[in-house]
Amino acid sequence: MTADRIFRGLFVLYLLAFVAYLFAPLLIMGIAAFNESRFPTVIPWQGTTLDWFSAMWADAAMWKALLTSAIVAVLVVVVALPVGTAAALVLTTLHSRARSMAYAVMVSPLLTPGVVIGISTLILWRQVGVGGGIALIVVAQTTFIICYVMLMVMARLQRFDRTQEEAALGLGASRVMVFRRVLLPFLRPALLASGGLAILQSVENYNTTLFVRGFETPLTVFIATKVRTGLTPAVNALALVIIAATIIGAIAYEIARRRQVTARPRP
């Protein structure tokens, strides 16, 4: 009995250590944004300040990087949502043998290291005279972000009742109408969720983007360059703002999802 209790106590300690492991680095990074010290740290504490936030706000290069990332993310969503949805529909309609083959090809970008996707895209487009830049970043990122959209839409499609389509057809709707009025509304939550995921994946991507960026500097590249060339707590301030934004976004998404689940389906 006591052995059991010791074991349980040890496990609780392990859980606490795990939570500390998860959050200590982020907390320290966040707190360091308020320290006057020129190098971001929490020890020694040289005085509390908000100067790094205004330094970050006044950094034109940061705004340019943010704009680049935003443009890329929007374009990625515009390309990845339709293609990913189409892929999910094609895949779920295919017959079993062709299906597993097609599936393997379609998820292969997820099993490819990000740097390789960036490199192969760069090489292919150089042949036709297109160098690194926003267009190539979008192409390289959508290559694998389409897979995420496809998987999320497929998961939703599994719960779709095909008789709804047949009923609509029987009532005289055209096939395009059935798609627009029956299937698309049903897929809406999955499309919204995968749109959010696509934005997140696009903005946070570094490994693939690094190779196809040309002379562009998206946000992740901007931060990584700062770390190597002159890290000040202004970067921490930026990090803190991004973290706050992502957490708020995640909570908002979760609330929206719960509402979706509890809300009764519209007649």
**What residues from 24 to 83 belong to the interface with other proteins (CB under 8 A)?**
24-26, 28-29, 32, 39-43, 82-83
> Can you tell me which of 93, 158, 229, 262 binds other proteins, judged by CB under 8 A?
93
DSSP H helical ranges for the chain: 2-32, 51-57, 60-93, 96-111, 114-127, 134-157, 163-170, 175-178, 184-204, 207-212, 219-229, 233-262
155: left (phi over 0), alpha (psi -120 to 50) or beta: alpha
Least distance between other proteins and beta carbon 179 (Å): 6
Contacting range for other proteins; rule: CB under 8 A; set: 7-15, 51-59, 187-195, 258-266: 7-15
> Can you tell me which of 56, 114, 153, 195 binds other proteins, judged by CB under 8 A?
114
Nearest residue (CB) to other proteins, 74 versus 107: 107
Read off the tokens for 89.
């529909």
Contacting range for other proteins; rule: CB under 8 A; set: 55-63, 116-124, 187-195, 257-265: 116-124
Give how many residues touch other proteins by CB under 8 A. Answer: 88
> Can you tell me which of 58, 61, 104, 167 binds other proteins, judged by CB under 8 A?
104
Nearest-angstrom CA–CA distance, 64 and 200: 18
Residue 148 neighbours by CB distance under 10 Å: 19
Least distance between other proteins and beta carbon 57 (Å): 18
Here the contacts of 21-29 (C-beta below 8 Å, separation 24 or greater) are 26/243, 29/236, 29/239, 29/240
> Can you tell me which of 90, 167, 184, 255 binds other proteins, judged by CB under 8 A?
90
Nearest residue (CB) to other proteins, 24 versus 61: 24
Report if residue 206 touches other proteins, rule: CB under 8 A: yes
Read off the tokens for 148.
């995420």
Q: Is the peptide bond before 82 cis (omega within 30 degrees of 0)?
A: no
- Size (the chain), residues: 267
Pick out residues in 161-190 that bind other proteins (CB under 8 A).
165, 174-176, 179
